Amino acid sequence: MEWYHVGGGLLTLLMVLISLGVPLPFALAAASLPFLWLIQDFSTSLISVELKIWGVWVDYILLAVPLFVFLGELIARSTIGPNLYRFMHRGVRVRGSAAYGSIGACAGFGAVCGSSMVGSLTIGSVALPEMLKLGYGKRLSAGVLAAGGTLSVLIPPSLILLFYGIVVDVSIGDLFIAGILPGITLTTMFAIVVVVWGIINPESIPRVDNALRMPLFEIMAAVLPILVIGLVITVSIYAGIATPTEAAAIAALLTLIIAVAVGNLRWEGLKSALLATMRTMGYLGLLLSAGTLFGFVLTYHQVPQQFTEAFLTLALEPYMVLAMVIAFYLVVGMFLEPVSITFITLPTLFPLISSVGYDLVWFGIIYTITMEIAVLTPPVGLNLYVIQGLAPKEIALKDVILGVLPFIGALAILIALLLLFPQMALYLPELAS
């Protein structure tokens, strides 16, 4: 069977299964099996499936995933995240401080947790009612929090960068370092969006936020936990003291201690964090296993290699190839969530990007930004539903969608900046090497 028959058949069968409502991990595995049976008998294919599943669950690098998820859940169920928002809001007595505080809190949260949805939910659950009570516009309030959650995906540690590094087989440490400058730039751009929004639509931002100043003790309790956890992750990885997995383990233990000591985490909160982590990893583990099997079948039939060779015969300029790939991800991101996109499409497309001469670390940052846009675009924009679900009576889904549009514009501008100035992503990894 020709490679394009296999590739087309896999994709068609996968889309049919998804449209029938089959959960994605099972759809990936079910689509892979018929084409696995073309090359192996039934008993041998069972062994292959078992080996692929076992290989995912015992992979040392992948141990970082549940640890970072657990870390984020601990923060979400303690007062660490909410306290960070209150500090960012009350500590800056300027017009729009609650909006700027939301962005700053999301950025700070992103420095210790790599999940966009957890970031939006943790900060949004505190910030959204506060912003609405203070008189901020519904669209600005919803937009800044839905978009702010995406900072957790770009600012290291990032689960998407971690998955990207596993699929593409590039240094996760380099990817994390590469996300720092773009992450800081994006945080600044989001703040600029709020400034411009206030100029164009001044009634969306109250003149002065009537919030009481925080006492020094509360400021220390808000800032120090995030600062310490972030420094432990950053320094241990970038100084070569620990691998990302070891850093995640140390940071998760440290977060647990801090959450109990100063974050008011109690047994019920810890139990909820453990259960939420197990639920998340149950899904992610199945998805990783099925994605690995899917990639194995693709690679065995040489679909990525043949696709790359066929595409290169078109003799397109490298920038045209890159533009088509980015456009593809922007469209696919409207219908699938980022983790699924990573394991379905990257095995086929990253050889193409590499073959036309682009650096895979740099492309990893571009790819991650397109995934940030994916969680903000309907009909499957996860962050849209997270924020709308926090205040379903006050905010309609339409308000959230319109609220994120300027922030999507900022994300598009960041992609353009990275295309024009690749060193934004490559300078720090080169400096560290």
Q: Identify which has the larger pLDDT, 50 or 178.
A: 178
Tokens 């995240």 -> residue: 81
Residue 145 above 80 pLDDT? Answer: yes
Give how far the C-alpha of residue 250 lies from the chain's centroid of Cα atoms, to the nearest Å. 21
Q: How confident is the model at residue 99 (pLDDT cuts 50, 70, 90)?
A: confident
Residue 27 domain-assigned (yes or no): no
Q: What percent of the chain is predicted at pLDDT more than 70?
A: 95
Cα separation of 222 and 81, whole Å?
Answer: 8
Cα separation of 362 and 179, whole Å?
Answer: 9
pLDDT score, position 346: 87
Q: Is the peptide bond before 157 cis (omega within 30 degrees of 0)?
A: yes
Do 132 and 88 meet the contact criterion of CB atoms below 8 Å apart? no
Q: How confident is the model at residue 213 (pLDDT cuts 50, 70, 90)?
A: low
Cα separation of 63 and 17, whole Å?
Answer: 30
Residue 366 above 90 pLDDT? Answer: yes
Burial code (b: 16+ CB inside 10 Å, e: under 16) for 27-36 equals bbbebbeebb
> What is the mean pLDDT of the segment spanning 355-366?
93
Q: What residue spans of 77-179 are helical by DSSP H?
A: 80-90, 97-110, 116-134, 138-148, 151-154, 159-168, 172-178
Cα separation of 20 and 17, whole Å?
Answer: 5
Residue 56 domain-assigned (yes or no): no
Cα separation of 92 and 90, whole Å?
Answer: 6
Residue 19 domain-assigned (yes or no): no
Tell me the residue type at 4. Answer: Y
Q: Identify which has the larger pLDDT, 275 or 223.
A: 275
Residue 13 domain-assigned (yes or no): no
Q: What residue spans of 239-302 are helical by DSSP H?
A: 244-261, 267-300
Cα separation of 310 and 432, whole Å?
Answer: 37
Residues 6+ apart with CB under 8 A from 53: 289, 292, 293
Residue 422 above 90 pLDDT? Answer: yes
Residue 111 above 80 pLDDT? Answer: no
> What is the mean pLDDT of the segment spanning 162-169?
88
Cα separation of 11 and 335, whole Å?
Answer: 14
Tell me the residue type at 197. Answer: W
Summarize pLDDT for 13-66 with one digit per residue, the tens: 888 888 888 887 888 888 888 888 888 888 888 887 787 777 767 777 778 888
The rounded mean pLDDT for the chain is 84
Cα separation of 88 and 105, whole Å?
Answer: 6
Summarize pLDDT for 289-341 with one digit per residue, the tens: 887 788 788 878 878 777 777 777 777 888 988 999 999 888 888 877 788 78
Give how far the C-alpha of residue 253 lies from the chain's centroid of Cα atoms, to the nearest Å. 22
Q: How confident is the model at residue 157 (pLDDT cuts 50, 70, 90)?
A: confident
pLDDT score, position 208: 64
How many residues appear in the chain?
433
Residue 400 domain-assigned (yes or no): yes
| DSSP conformation class of 96 | T
Q: How confident is the model at residue 210 (pLDDT cuts 50, 70, 90)?
A: low
Cα separation of 218 and 7, whole Å?
Answer: 57
Q: How is residue 375 written in tokens?
A: 């969680």
pLDDT score, position 195: 93
Which structural domain, as residue segments, surrounds residue 265? 61-432
Q: Identify which has the larger pLDDT, 411 or 335.
A: 411
pTM: 0.82
Do 324 and 370 meet the contact criterion of CB atoms below 8 Å apart? no
Domains in the chain, number: 1
pLDDT score, position 186: 95
Do 349 and 357 meet the contact criterion of CB atoms below 8 Å apart? no
